[in-house]
Amino acid sequence: DTAVSQTPKYLVTQMGNDKSIKCEQNLGHDTMYWYKQDSKKFLKIMFSYNNKELIINETVPNRFSPKSPDKAHLNLHINSLELGDSAVYFCASSSVGLAGGPRTDTQYFGPGTRLTVL
Amino acid sequence: AQSVTQLDSQVPVFEEAPVELRCNYSSSVSVYLFWYVQYPNQGLQLLLKYLSGSTLVKGINGFEAEFNKSQTSFHLRKPSVHISDTAEYFCAVSYGGATNKLIFGTGTLLAVQP
């Protein structure tokens, strides 16, 4: 069973379009994250949700909107795509135990979604 | 500001030779340290981690790392590399807390040559 899965794996689209990336984890974790890896392979946190509540919101354009329907899913919607949005987007999960549950500081990553904006 | 430094962007090494990939982090009272590996066109896989306890940490694929608090370092080592170890290696630090945010270094490409 895949622990953290993302769909789609590849996404090619035109500038100005709106697209979504989906992430699901079956590890029972309470916290999920989105990271962006740019063309120089630099990884940076974008967002994090704990039990469906936003707990990290880095300096990201408001064209990016995360949504967590439940603690096993975290989706990323991007409006009005720009050339600079081309990157690989990684989802990750861990347990920070904010709700009194167990804590593990290890984040487990999905396989990534390569977004190419033309 | 919290940061992680991987000074070497690329490390070429011959097969069966030893290797060390360097990682330094900005100081804090408590840190959690990780090494992740990314094979070409793949996601990140956890190699090893330091949360507490013994400063020498062993991971998968024969890798190990040593946490050195006085030097704020967490260098990754392998005594004998294989061609299959060719990949990008990322050092990351978390300062714990409610968010558990991971801060990554810029990565080191380990290029193993026959």
Read off the pLDDT of residues B27-75 as tens digits, 9 standing for 90 and up: 767 789 999 999 988 889 999 999 888 999 999 999 999 999 999 999 9
Residues from chain B contacting residue A92 (CB–CB below 8 Å): 44, 102
Residues from chain B contacting residue A41 (CB–CB below 8 Å): 38, 88, 106-107
- Give the CA angle between residues B11, B17, B22 to the nearest 5°: 40
Is the Cβ–Cβ distance between A19 and A78 less than 8 Å? yes
pLDDT score for A97: 72
pLDDT score for B53: 87
CB contact under 8 A, B101 and A48: yes
Tens digit of each residue's pLDDT (9 = 90 or more) over A52-78: 888 888 878 999 999 999 989 999 999
Tens digit of each residue's pLDDT (9 = 90 or more) over A91-102: 999 987 766 666
| B1 has a chain A CB within 8 A of its CB | no
Among candidates A55, A90, A110 on the partner chain, residue whose Cβ is nearest the Cβ of B99: A55
Percent of all residues in chain B with a pLDDT value above 90, rounded to a whole number: 75
> Cα(A83)–Cα(A59) distance, rounded to whole angstroms?
18
> Least CA distance to B37: which residue of chain A?
A109
Q: Which of B100, B104, B108, B109 to mutate to test the interface with A (most CBs of A within 10 A)?
A: B100
Non-local CB neighbours of A98 within 8 Å, separated by 6+ positions = A30, A31, A50, A51, A55, B98
> Quick check: helix, strand or coil at residue B83?
helix
Residues from chain A contacting residue B51 (CB–CB below 8 Å): 105
| A97 has a chain B CB within 8 A of its CB | no
CB contact under 8 A, A41 and B49: no
Interface of A with B in 57-86 (CB under 8 A): none
Residue that has been written with the tokens 């408590």 in this structure: B30
pLDDT score for A99: 66
- Residue B22, judged by CB atoms within 10 A of its CB (0-12, 13-18, 19+), counts as middle
